[in-house]
Amino acid sequence: MLRRINWKAITKGFAWALCLSGVVVLFSFIEVKKQEVKCTNVKILIPGVDNFIEREEIDAILKESQGELVGRKLEDINTHDIEKTMQANPYIAFAKVYADMDGVINIQIKQRQPVLRVINAGGQDYYIDREGLKMPMSPNFTANVLVATGEILEGFGGRVDTLITPLLADLYKTALFMKQDTLWDAQFEQIFVNSKKDIELIPRVGKQRIILGNADSLAIKMDNLLAFYKQAMPEVGWDAYKTINIKYVNQIVCEKNIIDSTAVKQPAVKIDSASFAKELVASAVKNVIEEEIKKESEKIATKKVVTNTVAKEQKPTNTNEPKKIAGKETKAVSTAKGDKTISTKEKPVVKSDPLLYKPPVKSTTEKTKAGSATKEKTDTKKSNK
């Protein structure tokens, strides 16, 4: 009978019951502690550099909704209500509120992060955050993001809301793409919507406008633009074109900038600090693009060298070709036992015109020997006869 009892299951159930009872005891202890502990301090944490909302504003929201927190018992403070109140603020994306056993209430705030500032055709001004939601402008802080202007008709109702028109959705996608790329984020400072509802990018370096069209195939279009920057701009210069049309995925259409040679030069104008800072940023962006072009050229040159080296190494060698060693010519001779290598003295080969060829002049001694040999042959023939 004892063998049929599953002692392992009983032990596991007992352990779970023990843990559950421990949790219940712990919660009861916390509740008792809450009844005794009072709030001693309120800590507010706002990470990030964009301060759309300050600590003073959060303190004001807390006093208006909850009253004075310091000195109250923790059981009388509803942290969930504080979180809902914080998240109702248009500049706060997320809020976390909790209390520790020392009586300190911690409030962690996550602000909304704008990626685009929109000024519509009616002059209304608002932001679009990273989540694709419209949010109002802040009197405390102005974010350094792309600015979209032109034929934009969608407005803002004063509270956090979603995007309605496809045009604003394309502007949001474009701004988010630029924000994620350091090169394009530094290169473009404004987005303009023309009368044809085409999106145009206004760069910091160069006077041309980049006609993007819409946000379809955005990565391919920007890759084409980068290739155009690397190949064409070093040859023609940054101000050679008035517009660069990349709205078509398979081609780039450029309109040349007409320079008026009769134009009178304007007198020099004093540059303020803002213009000077803009020139510095433009110079930095130009240097980054030129560095990318230089790296690309070095990669192409290295690739050619490696290809030529591999081709030479893979070139087949002729084993039957004679080898020249220290003025000797080596010939490969096939025998019954195998191949032998016989060295013979190299003879110079003279290539010349047969009309200009002259036989070598024999010396006197050689002539005498040749005459004697001829005479001996003649005498021998006569005797034989």
Rounded CA-CA distance 157/295 in Å is: 49
State the average pLDDT over residues 354-363.
Answer: 46
Domain borders along the chain are 38-111, 114-258+281-288
Pairing between β-strand 241-245 and β-strand 209-213 as defined by DSSP bridges: parallel
Structure tokens, 193: 């919507």
pLDDT tens profile 200-214 = 999 988 788 999 999
- CA dihedral angle for residue 223, residue 227, residue 230, residue 235, rounded to 10 degrees: -140
Domain 38-111 adopts which CATH fold? Ubiquitin-like (UB roll) (3.10.20)
Q: Is residue 90 pLDDT above 50, yes or no?
A: yes
The DSSP code for 359 is: P
Do 225 and 201 touch, CB atoms closer than 8 A? Answer: no
Pinpoint the alpha helices (H) of 314-361.
none
Predicted TM-score of the model (pTM): 0.60
User: For the domain 114-258+281-288, what is the CATH code?
Assistant: 3.40.50
Contacting residues for 126 by C-beta, under 8 A, at least 6 apart: 117, 118, 134, 135, 136, 137, 156
Does 176 score more than 90 pLDDT?
A: yes
pLDDT for 280 equals 46
What is the identity of the amino acid at 41?
Answer: N
Tens-place pLDDT, residues 111-167:
999 999 999 999 999 999 999 999 999 888 888 899 999 999 999 988 899 999 999
Q: In a 10 Å sphere around its CB, with 0-12 CB exposed, 13-18 middle and 19+ buried, how is residue 381 labelled?
A: exposed
